[in-house]
Structure 1
Amino acid sequence: MNDSRSRWRFGASRRANPTTPGRLRRMRWLLTALFTALTAACLLVLATVAASIDSHSRERALDDGVDRVVTGLARVVYWNADGTIDLETLREDDLAQGNSAVAVMVRGTDGRWREGYGHLRSTLPADLTAPSEETAAAEDTVFSTMGNSAGQRIRVAAAPVYDNDAAISAVVFAGSDPAPSQRDHRSLVLALEFGGLALIALAAVIGHLLSGVSTRPAVRMLAEQERFLADASHELRTPLATLRLYLDAALRDPQDSRRAVTEARSLTDRMGRLVTGLLARTRTETGLGELDSERLHLDQLVEGVVAECGVAGIELRTEPTVVQADPDLLALAVRNLIDNALVHGGTPVEITVAEHAVTVRDHGPGLDPDLADPFAHGSTGAGGRHGIGLSLVQWVARAHSGSVALGSAPDGGTIATLTLPAPPQL
């Protein structure tokens, strides 16, 4: 019962705490959302400012139009010597016959306002008496929005006209329908709305792509690290289990302790090399360490690695060649190639050193022809699981700007070639 509860708690913890790549993917969506929200806020502010500016600009344009009409017509209103008004010049003026509605209200001797002239009169309000009084009282041009007999809202300007006695005895009205301008403004607002939505959608797509580009290397690296650590745990688990078997055998049979200790030492050396490679790769890829590169004789380094192996059946042919490399990492790569050949092909193993390259050939079953990437962590060839050794070899080669290649030998077996660039000339 307790075990099932522990398993349930472990599973719940796994679901509650996603893997690092999963958290990075969630961070990508969060960055996309923030980028989209910021873009939407900026577009909203810009659209609001643009709509407000357009609205005020259209209102000013409308007022300027009717103001130009009433100002121009007020200048052509004359008074006769007997105090009567002369509107003949006004009637002949182009402004009085244009697209703007025009009306002239005249104050009689009894103080009442009467209409003296009208053009497109139905467009203006039917009764202009009160607006005339307001304009006369203001003694200046008055702008207002009024309703006409058809129920339409009209923008109206009213300018006072002084008679010969310097009294306001007439008022010139000009009106313009704001509906066309308002329709254009609504069209602009709709264009801003739909254009803003399209831009927000585009920003979301671009933000998602940009966040993906920025987080993809980290996601790929972390996913690679997780697979790498999983394979490393597998590689360490197997020799540890074997080491436990040797030690148990030595405890059961003291006479077999020498062989068990020898095998245990071999296994610990193998695990030590594996851990060294893992730590070196991790420190280098995270920027915590650098390659200790130096000029060295590749043939002498390989001879030393073969001597450390102490395995019969290794045929070594060398030619003097110099490379620029980290000696510890290069020795680790060569040892992994030899170990891989011994594990999957047994002896004999043929090693050739020449022209800045190390070639290791075994006589095992060879590579699986269906294997896409023999360097992938945990890939399985014809001879079984390759493990993490070849992956470390590939990393060492790339860290030194070199390459490693695997191929099948014509008469059976596998050929692995580690190639390094020539050292710089002194």
Structure 2
Amino acid sequence: MTAEARIRNLRWRLTALFTLTSLVGLVGLAVFALRSDTAAAHRQLEATMNLQADHAISLIDYDDNRRLDLQPLIDTMDSDCPPLTVLSGPADHLTVARTPPRPCVALAPDDVRAVASTALRHGSEAWADSRTPDGDPVRLLATLYPGPNDRSWGGALVTAVDTADSESEHRHLVTLLTVGCAVLVSLSAIAGHLLSGRAIRPALTALRQQEAFLADAAHDLRTPAASLRALAETARHDDTLRGEALDRTVRLATRMSDLIDGLLTRARLIAGVATVTREPLRLDQLVEAVVDDTATHGHQVTVVARPTVVEADPELLRRAVTNVLNNALAHGHAPGQGAEVELTVSPEGTVTIDDAGPGIPPSLAGSLFERFHSTSGSTGLGLSIASWVAHTHGGTLTVETSPRGGARFVLRLPGHTKHRL
């Protein structure tokens, strides 16, 4: 797996981790909310039923013969809703003293008797859950009332509440929370993917810059390295040329050192840790120096220059002019013939390079300055580097048809000054 693929895979892992964290957090909050809602509903229901039961028990009385008197209860409370069932006697022999004539909640007699027996056996109130004949959920409460001598329990009062509406509201809350969690998790996944993309973007940029640096280094150092090897072989096999070869080797090594410094400078500029060093320089002299340092090998190179001063980075500008000139020498001639190249330096801060070759097809003009674009066996980096240098200085590098019939490359630099150094 390539480094870029690993970085992109990391993005998906970060997205998954962000989504999983959001999912766990939202599910935990939803469960807590549902449990809190259930507990609050139960507390409210039980408090209401306790109040009703306590009020009803306060109305249960006995007559002079110590017989159960429920008339105050009947006269004061609507015992049909909530349904109030009064049972008397011990837990094992309970008898129904009164049932609501028209209860709003239908109760199974066995369930009523069971919860009342439980309360009497334990000597405290008892709760139970049941269902009506129609299947609706019901909450039952059995509360003890005192006997005629207040020394024992006379029986139990059973009340009930239909909880179907409450459970329906709870299910609706579950649905809302489920849908809400799903939407929020989806949004968090999208947000996590976008944020992770922004997080890995600097790493991808740094990786591409590193690859560009290595490619540029290989392009710029390949020719000097080959020349050094050729000079070393010449010095080894021909003693008469050894001194000249060593002198040229020293100059070429110095040039390679300058190239390496330029490459490092460009890498730092792209990374944003350095700025372009602008200083006044003679553009015409720089172009002449580039021509003098370039091996023509049978090609004819003419320089037409007027004294021109621009503000630019000397090393970067030298590399740009060198790359365009080398491109003209390599491609600006017919096979088997020498190239005829003319460089013109104008006071407007423009370097024009004309050749008499086959020219540039219009279909290739738009992509000529792209990285690794080449119509021959070269790496396709020379013109892209020159274009990058021009744009770094706020200028342009364009190509058009030359009056000589070949290609014309125009390097324009802004912010020039029209004075001599």
Structures share fold, TM-score greater than 0.5: yes
Uncovered stretches (5+) of structure 1, i.e. residues with no partner:
1-17
The 1:237–1:361 alpha-carbon spacing in structure 2 relative to 1, beyond 3 Å, is closer
Task: Confirm whether residue 54 of structure 1 aligns to residue 37 of structure 2.
Answer: yes
Q: 1:280 offset after TM fit, Å?
A: 0.9
Q: Does 1:418 align with 2:400?
A: no
For the residue of structure 2 that corresponds to 1:365, the secondary structure is coil
Of 361, 380, 386, 1:393 maps to: 386
- The aligned counterpart of 1:123 is 107
What is the aligned counterpart of 1:63 among 34, 40, 46?
46
| CA distance, structure 2, for counterparts of residue 89 and residue 414 of structure 1 | 115
Checking the alignment, whether the CA contact within 8 Å between 2:132 and 2:138 is kept in structure 1 is no
Describe how 1:213-362 pairs up with structure 2 within 5 A: 213-245=198-230, 247-248=232-233, 251=236, 268=253, 271-286=256-271, 289-294=274-279, 296-297=280-281, 300-307=282-289, 309-310=291-292, 313-318=301-306, 320-323=308-311, 325-345=312-332, 346-355=339-348, 357-362=349-354
- What is aligned with 1:373? 367
For 1:172, the equivalent position in structure 2 comes to 157
Cα separation, partners in 2 of 1:255 and 1:387, compared to 1, 3 Å: farther
Distance verdict in 2 for CA 1:351–1:124, change over 3 Å: farther
Alignment-derived partner of residue 6 in structure 1: none
| Corresponding position of 1:87 | 70
Residues 126-205 of structure 1 aligned to structure 2 (within 5 Å): 126=110, 128-129=112-113, 131-132=115-116, 135=119, 142-147=125-130, 154-162=138-146, 165-166=149-150, 168-193=153-178, 195-205=180-190
Deviation at 1:77, TM superposition (A): 3.7
Report the Cα distance in structure 1 between the residues aligned to 2:105 and 2:32, rounded to whole angstroms: 37
For residues 121 and 217 of structure 1, do their structure 2 counterparts lie closer, same or farther at Cα, with a shift above 3 Å needed?
Answer: closer
Question: Structure 1 length normalisation: TM-score?
Answer: 0.75
In structure 1, distance between residues paired with 2:247 and 2:361: 33
Question: Hey, what's the Cα distance between the residues in 1 that align with 2:52 and 2:326?
Answer: 100
Where 2:79 maps in the other structure, the secondary structure is helix
Identity of aligned residues (%): 29
SS of equivalent residue, structure 2 residue 23? helix
The answer to whether the 8 Å contact 2:119/2:142 transfers is yes
- What is the distance in 2 between the residues matched to 1:234 and 1:327? 20
1:333/1:308 CA distance change after superposition, 3 Å: closer
Residue 406 of structure 1, CA deviation: 1.6
CA apart distance, 1:130:
5.7
Amino acid at match of 1:31: L
1:212 paired with 2:194, answer no
Q: Please tell me whether the aligned partners of residues 397 and 420 of structure 1 are also in contact (alpha carbons under 8 angstroms).
A: no
Cα shift at 1:222: 1.1
Partner of 2:412: helix, strand, or coil? strand
Q: CA deviation at 1:143?
A: 4.3
Whole-angstrom distance in 2 between the partners of 1:308 and 1:148: 100
CA distance in 1, matches of 2:415, 2:34: 65
From 25, 35, 46, the equivalent of 1:42 is: 25
Q: Summarize the Cα distance change of 1:367–1:265 in structure 2 as closer, same or farther, 3 Å threshold.
A: farther
The equivalent of 1:25 in structure 2 is 8
Structure 2: distance between partners of 1:21 and 1:288: 23
The letter for the 2-side match of 1:105 is L
Letter in 2 for 1:315: V
- Looking at structure 2, the residues matched to 218 and 203 of structure 1 have their Cα atoms a distance apart, in angstroms, of 23
